[in-house]
Structure 1
Amino acid sequence: MEIGSKTATFIILAIYITIMVGIGIYMSKRTKSSEDFMLGGRNVGSWLTAFSYGTTYFSAVVFIGYAGQFGWMYGASATWVGIGNAIIGSLIPFFLLGRRTRLMTNHLGAKTMPEYFEHRFDSKKLKTASALIVFIFLIPYTASVYNGLSRLFGMVFDLGENGGTYIIIAMAILSAVYVTLGGYKATALNDFFQGIIMLIGIGTVVALTVQKKDGLSAALDALNTISDSKTEAGTLGSRFGPDPINLLGVVILTSLGTWGLPQMVQKFYAIKDEQAIKKGAIISTFFAIVVAGGSYFMGGFVRLYCTLDSADTSGKALIQTVDGKPVYDTMVPALIHQALPNLLIGLVVVLVLSASLSTLSSLVLTSSSTLTNDLIKPRIKNFDDKHQVKFMRVFIAVFLVISVIIACNKNASISTLMSYSWGALSGAFLGPFLYGLFMKKASKAACWTSFITGVGISVAHMVLFSMNIEAFSGIRQSVIDMNCPLNLLSPINAGAFSMILSLVLVPIISSFTKAPEDKVVENAFSSLNEAK
């Protein structure tokens, strides 16, 4: 990247950071209570909610990690993941979960998902267990976002081996500053500003990616000429790609997963009214089509811009490899390096930074709120609102420090970190949260079953297949030798399976176990009769 272009990028970044911090300072004067800090006073409108939902959903994990990996593996058919994200992950949950979540959590006085489980199922132990799950498994997701940021910044500024670490630390500090200052409303307002940047940036990158390969038809034809040991010629440019079964696993994990993620459904706790939910559904779906659809569509053409042997003008490899296998997280940075003029790379840097900081801010706010509200507050006497906000601010720092330490270890890929995080969280919470809103007979036993299986599947899969423990090498090899069309080694498929299992297990277990007392259930469902 030329010196002049670097200077322009630094100027853009400086302006961007100044605005972010300025919003945090502005909103800090309007944050008076713990409910303001966690939920914006439950008075957030449709535009801010929709953009906050979308920008929390999509980050460097999607743009750098998933777009590169699945674009390489599935070609143009990776676009289906973005379409699934828009319909299953954005449109449906607004209409299906939005109103009931807003009314029931408000009526029960629940500020977090663990607090919802406590009041809905009359169980403090459920609250404690779910709070621990949230705190532990949001950490790898946060680390994956930092990892994506460091990859892009390392490419743009040629920062060397340790440069990514400095970027990770700087981004942690920046996200901590404005979340600590202004809480939920600062996060939502920043998300709106960052969402505008993401829409413009993605549109620009997608247009240039296709244009440089002589248009869409020519680009698809070129994809169809590519083949390797795992991919037949004619499939990468086809409608459903070379491996539709495992592609479906990606769609399920990244789309259905949002229904059970605390940082996503918490947007419905804070939304203003039912009209805001309806408008928010349309806005968030449009946002997802552009951002997620555009990211995966762009990633589908990554093979046209770089191969395992590609190098830049200095002879440096565009795609990193380990033991002859590509490092997927380096693919989108390589595409950007080839497809975009230097002056526009600054736009991409701010695009990915916007996507990532918005996600990070929501993750750290969710984690610190859960830890303080659900684990610390019940165990300390005279823990007033002022102390609660102070503790949340401290735990923001603690959460970020742990995430940074994990992110600085580059052995785990972005997609692996996110898959285990989403698989454990949504695998544990999806069934209990969804059926808790709709089914009066949903039981505590069913919740515990879902918690144990969701976390258990993710942890077991991680130990057996991702940690390279010598004692389990025989199991890994046996799975490989099965030649199953469904990739059982994939943490993505493990996460998707745990989510589906949660939806199946909760109604089955509830059918023969005891529901909470009638007065508890009726109190929760009486909220649904309240004025819209």
Structure 2
Amino acid sequence: MIIKIVLLLLFFTVTVGVGVFCRKHTASVGDFVLGGRNVGPWVTAFAYGTSYFSAVIFVGYAGQFGWAYGLSATWIGIGNALIGSLLAWVVLGRRTRIMTKHFESATMPDFFAKRYQSEPLRIIVSVIIFVFLVPYSASVYKGLSGLFSMAFGIDFVYCMIGMAILTAIYVMVGGYMAAALNDLIQGTIMLVGMVAIIWTTLHSQGGLMDAMTEMSKIENPVNPEFQGVYTSFFGPDPIGLLSVVLLTSLGTWGLPQMVHKFYTIKSEKAIKTGTVISTLFALVVAGGSYFHGAFGRLFVNANADGSVAFDQIVPTMVGGNLPDVLIGVVVILVLSASMSTLSSLVIASSSTFTLDFLKPLFFKNMNGKMQIMSIRILCGLFVLLSVMIALRPNQLITSLMSLSWGALAGCFLGPFIFGLFWKGSTKTAVFAAFLSGIGINVSNLFLHFTTPVIAGAGSMLVSLLIVPIVSFVTPKLAAQFVEETFACYDEKIMAAHKLVLNEDEDQ
């Protein structure tokens, strides 16, 4: 216990210290929200990766889907790396940075308002972000508190309150730069910790081959004739597996807290380096989390009625097999992942609500200092609301996250991608995507016509279809405005001769 407490106190000290150190870099709203658009490649890449993965993945998703799909759940982590990280950086990184700089946009609502020439979009997007990021934040607290309860024997209520206070302190003090620098530190911890956890878990079962042999003996209750289903390539439910891959991978392309990282990119080098680093980071952390969770059936048995406490699978695996030193490392790992995710959620929601809702509607003359103060107050309010939802009993981590990701990506994925790449997208199509994204996910919350994961993945695909379909039959934006907007991509810049050959030079 002493070792775990020492590690925890050291982590808290470093985290708060970074927040205090970065306070001097938050003189303006741009500094607080974007880090001055001057964030280097390593910091940007780790900020992206650590915002992506949290206790929701390591505890909730890895536990539930590792149980459901066995070793094939590792495909989810691979999808997160290839689609959610690699392709996201390649497809969105450069264009997002260029167009948001062209519009001088610091937030997603501001981007939508300027790209589609509609001030009502600014208000609507800011409300959607604030409302639907809260359940995601709540799911992070819920996953984090379960692991803390296992490690320290403290009631999960106090765990959540403690984490909430710590998050609020360093984000409210240091803003985006504090969150980003902490992400770099926390991401390093996550990489080291993940390798240690997987090795220890497999070692407790006699090694990889012995663990896989035992997994192959477990019968699928739905189809007992399918031998070795939990060690098969696509597992017992390929369609369900694909839905999770889509939700957790393609969904990042439309999440405000994720694409916000591209707003802050410093240079071309930052894009190239960030692409490689974030992809490798996702392979280790996400792939490792789902691979680890896949062995949950070797450590946890279903209840007599067949039910399983999915949120307790990973804490049980960790608590029953690791020495105190490694339990402390695991706690710091999950805490690192969760704190970085929470900080990005808090900044994304509070900044958009201040800049794109309160200021244009109620405080048109709000100066820079008042804006920063408002953002800091809303950071605290957002954290409070998240904890209140997380304290509600019988709320699965995966259900909360699926609702949040499904609604946000269902609303924003199509409008954001087509807004960057296609001159023909219209403002009416954006509203249609919002209606479908919220409609599918919220109606499923009450009617339960499918799982939250399938509803979320389905709403994302609908978003990508509805924008071009509606755009073809609705009034277009002014041609001159559209041409001027997309001209930002064609702006000529100087490049070193070693990077670009002079075609006029004699051969």
Within 5 Å, give how 1:320-469 maps onto structure 2.
Answer: 325-379=307-361, 380-465=363-448
Match in the other structure for 2:131: 136
Amino acid at match of 1:165: V
Deviation at 1:531, TM superposition (A): 4.8
Whether the 8 Å CA contact 1:440–1:515 is kept in 2: the answer is no
Match in the other structure for 1:235: 229
SS in 2 for 1:29: helix
Match in the other structure for 2:503: none
Whole-angstrom CA distance in 2 between matches of 1:282 and 1:459: 36
Match in the other structure for 1:184: 176
Amino acid at match of 1:190: N
Whether the 8 Å CA contact 2:220–2:236 is kept in 1: the answer is no
Amino acid at match of 1:96: V
Whole-angstrom CA distance in 2 between matches of 1:196 and 1:332: 21
Whole-angstrom CA distance in 1 between matches of 2:198 and 2:457: 28
Change (3 A) 1:155 1:499: same
Moved runs in structure 1, 4+ residues, more than 3 A?
none
Whether the 8 Å CA contact 1:305–1:339 is kept in 2: the answer is no
Tell whether 2:86 aligns with 1:104. no
Change (3 A) 1:377 1:101: same
Deviation at 1:511, TM superposition (A): 1.1
Within 5 Å, give how 1:501-516 maps onto structure 2.
Answer: 501-516=462-477
- TM-score calculated relative to the size of structure 2: 0.95
Amino acid at match of 1:448: F
Amino acid at match of 1:13: L
Whole-angstrom CA distance in 2 between matches of 1:196 and 1:58: 13
Deviation at 1:226, TM superposition (A): 0.5
Match in the other structure for 1:265: 259
Match in the other structure for 2:498: none
SS in 2 for 1:326: coil
Within 5 Å, give how 1:66-77 maps onto structure 2.
Answer: 66-77=61-72
Whether the 8 Å CA contact 1:143–1:417 is kept in 2: the answer is yes
Whether the 8 Å CA contact 1:147–1:410 is kept in 2: the answer is no
CA deviation profile, 1:145-193 (whole Å, cap 9, x unmatched): 000011101111222xxx1111111111101111111111111000000
Match in the other structure for 2:243: 249
Change (3 A) 1:231 1:146: farther
Deviates most, 190-199 or 274-283: 274-283
CA deviation profile, 1:434-461 (whole Å, cap 9, x unmatched): 0000000100011000001001111000
Amino acid at match of 2:81: A
CA deviation profile, 1:65-120 (whole Å, cap 9, x unmatched): 00000010000000000000000000001010001100100110111111000000
Within 5 Å, give how 1:12-31 maps onto structure 2.
Answer: 12-31=7-26
Deviation at 1:338, TM superposition (A): 2.3
Whole-angstrom CA distance in 2 between matches of 1:456 and 1:501: 11
Amino acid at match of 1:519: Q
Whole-angstrom CA distance in 2 between matches of 1:401 and 1:257: 26
Tell whether 2:270 aligns with 1:276. yes
Match in the other structure for 1:9: 4
CA deviation profile, 1:120-165 (whole Å, cap 9, x unmatched): 0000111111111000000000000000011101111222xxx111
Deviates most, 376-385 or 278-287: 376-385
Whole-angstrom CA distance in 2 between matches of 1:241 and 1:268: 35
Amino acid at match of 2:97: R
Amino acid at match of 1:52: A
RMSD, matched Cα: 1.2
Unaligned runs of 5+ in 1: 1-5, 310-320, 466-487
SS in 2 for 1:236: helix
Amino acid at match of 2:327: I
CA deviation profile, 1:470-526 (whole Å, cap 9, x unmatched): xxxxxxxxxxxxxxxxxx521000000000110111111111112211232123212
Match in the other structure for 1:476: none
Whether the 8 Å CA contact 1:423–1:458 is kept in 2: the answer is yes
Percent identity (aligned)? 52
Deviates most, 409-418 or 428-437: 409-418
Whether the 8 Å CA contact 2:4–2:324 is kept in 1: the answer is no
Amino acid at match of 1:297: F
Unaligned runs of 5+ in 2: 494-507
Tell whether 2:287 aligns with 1:287. no
Match in the other structure for 1:313: none
- TM-score calculated relative to the size of structure 1: 0.91
Amino acid at match of 2:467: V
Amino acid at match of 1:267: K
Whole-angstrom CA distance in 2 between matches of 1:523 and 1:279: 30
Amino acid at match of 2:78: I
Whole-angstrom CA distance in 1 between matches of 2:12 and 2:152: 18
Amino acid at match of 1:463: F
Amino acid at match of 1:496: A
> In the alignment, which of 469, 477, 493 is matched to residue 454 of structure 2?
493
Whole-angstrom CA distance in 2 between matches of 1:201 and 1:530: 44
